[in-house]
Amino acid sequence: MEIRAAVVEEEGGAFEIDTLELGDPAPDEVVVRVVGAGVCHTDLIVRDQEYPSPLPIVLGHEGSGVVESVGSAVTRVEPGDRVVMSFDSDDTCRHCRAGHPAYCDEFFAYNFGGVRPEDGSTPLSRDGEPVHGRFFGQSSFATHAMATERNVVPVADDVPLELLGPLGCGVQTGAGGVINSLDPQTGSSIAVFGAGSVGLSAVMAAKLKGCTEIVSVDLKDNRLAKADELGATATIDPEGVEDVVGAVREATDGGVEYAVETTGVPDVAEQAVASLTQRGTAGIVGAPPLGAEASYDVNDLLINGRTITGIVEGDSDRDEFIADLVELYRQGAFPFDELVTYYDFEEIERAVADSESGETIKPVLRVSEP
């Protein structure tokens, strides 16, 4: 079928909407008419080849939409179902079998490879030439996406479908990083470095978990203001203080029990660890360019009993956790809609620019009618 998709042709290039061909689904695949697609930091670092997926490619990995057709072996969904598309995994490795698909042995192949891992093919083409797709098992910067039965999550009819795409990655990552990975105790303290959609989702999750000291650190006043609205008990602009770590410690009576680093900046990751109190844990969520390094004083970790843990996709079971977040949103306990600004699909470059400038917290492209 003929579709419209935003193609990145070269390193650092624009998202250019073009006409492509989408092939028929393989036995385990699902064709989804995309209704909404969130713009995420990961799309941009792949555009810039900091994570080297092959080009040309259709990105987008926070899609929501309606199933239009399914492969011959698909049983979980059928045409007409409303779904969120999340990350992909092989579902057969030891980590997937243990309920941790975000740590799939083949995570990079299934999410960044730009092809079907099983045979190296791509469902997308242009004038007979292949275009890389299946980014995070979807490539949802398009009117239609080819997903798999594994990574589509059915959702209820009484929530806005165009809103739900960010649950597939960014919102899931921030909220899951707190709820699933760090699991802070009621009455504990936490600092969240970065107040984009991932960081603010972490702030909301910390409030849900009963953290009584929640510090949000960011350079943008609009994001700090939103953090304050969503549950932060203190906000810090690094440009307004001499010592960020000292400011976090002052705001929390000596340091935090948990820290979440969402910016992907190694220096900030170091600050997150340094802000911990004894036996504190820092979760590293933000993705820097491959090869980036941060430094830590080994004795500082040892003597204080601190822990550093990496977190991918909030260590989430996609089906269960996305359903949980939808229910929390329905109850008014997780208002992630306050992070979202909508753009028409044709405005993708403006959405990207507004995201990079910090003007918009979470851009969501309206691709088609629900």
179-231: pLDDT as tens digits: 999 999 999 999 999 999 999 999 999 999 999 999 999 999 999 999 999 99
Let me know whether 31 and 146 are in one domain. Answer: yes
Write the DSSP string, 19-31.
EEEE-PPPTTEEE
pLDDT at 229: 97
pLDDT at 35: 98
Residues ≥6 apart with Cβ < 8 Å to 324? none
Let me know whether 120 and 192 are in one domain. Answer: no
Q: Which residues are paired to 69 by β-bridges?
A: 31
Give a yes or no: residue 328 inside a domain: no
pLDDT in tens, 58-97: 999 999 999 999 999 999 999 999 999 999 999 999 999 9
Domain count, the chain: 2
What pTM was computed for the model? Answer: 0.96
Size of the chain, expressed as the number of residues it contains: 370
Let me know whether 148 and 10 are in one domain. Answer: yes
Torsion sign across C-alpha atoms 169, 171, 176, 182: positive
Let me know whether 214 and 101 are in one domain. Answer: no
> How many whole angstroms separate alpha carbon 273 and alpha carbon 31?
43
289 has a pLDDT exceeding 90: no
Write the DSSP string, 143-175.
SEEEEESTTEEE--TTS-GGG-GGGGTHHHHHH
Give a yes or no: residue 318 inside a domain: no
Q: Which of 150, 127, 130 is nearest to 138 (CA)?
A: 150
Provide mean pLDDT across the span 304-315.
Answer: 96
Q: Which of 151, 130, 120 is nearest to 23 (CA)?
A: 130
At residue 273 the predicted structure's pLDDT band, cuts being 50, 70 and 90, is very high
pLDDT at 253: 87
Let me know whether 288 and 229 are in one domain. Answer: yes
Residues ≥6 apart with Cβ < 8 Å to 58? 5, 6, 7, 8, 20, 124, 131, 132, 133, 135, 139, 141, 142
366 has a pLDDT exceeding 90: yes
Let me know whether 142 and 194 are in one domain. Answer: no
Strand runs labelled E in the chain: 2-8, 15-22, 29-38, 57-58, 63-70, 82-85, 124-126, 129-131, 144-148, 152-154, 189-193, 213-217, 234-236, 256-261, 276-284, 307-310, 340-344, 362-366
Q: What percent of the chain has pLDDT over 70?
A: 100
CA distances from 280 to 45, 57, 216, 275, 302 (A): 30, 41, 17, 9, 11
Let me know whether 300 and 361 are in one domain. Answer: no
CATH number at residue 105: 3.90.180.10
pLDDT at 262: 97
Which residues span the domain enclosing 154? 2-168+335-366
